[in-house]
């Protein structure tokens, strides 16, 4: 019996909260690999059209005030939509949000994907 099978059997007797805590401890200890980002479930809450508008600007590296000027909305509106996107996509940074959105098909793949990297 392998380590992962033993870990699964040990987790089977625990309640859902205890199982989640044990899984987190196991990952932090390096015993269980985290699932790849693309393998995560899609957002539980649908992304709104307004959030999609903001999402399309995230790969541009424009700041929130610059995005707000482009869309004729307030900076607070942009920041609220970005915060909502982080929560819905389960991310904490802009780059992770863009990658997750691409994995879910909410954004087109990067035009730089597959290009050769410069030497150096």
Domains of the chain, first to last: 3-34 (no CATH), 39-103 (1.10.10.10)
pLDDT at 1: 58
Q: Mean pLDDT by 10-residue block, N- to C-terminus, for the chain (120 residues)?
A: 62 65 71 56 82 95 95 96 94 93 87 57
Site of tokens 């990952």: 27
pLDDT at 110: 76
pLDDT value of residue 36: 58
Overall pTM surpassing 0.75 (yes/no): no
């Amino acid at each position: 019996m392998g380590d992962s099978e033993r870990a699964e059997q040990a987790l089977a007797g625990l309640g859902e909260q205890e199982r989640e805590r044990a899984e987190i401890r196991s990952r932090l200890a390096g015993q269980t690999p985290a699932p790849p980002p693309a393998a995560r479930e899609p957002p539980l809450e649908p992304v709104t059209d307004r959030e999609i508008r903001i999402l399309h600007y995230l790969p541009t590296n424009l700041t929130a005030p610059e995005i707000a000027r482009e869309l004729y909305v307030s900076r607070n509106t942009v920041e609220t939509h970005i915060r909502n996107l982080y929560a819905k996509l389960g991310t904490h940074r802009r780059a992770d949000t863009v990658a997750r959105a691409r994995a879910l098909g909410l954004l087109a793949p990067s035009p730089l994907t597959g290009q050769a990297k410069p030497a150096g």
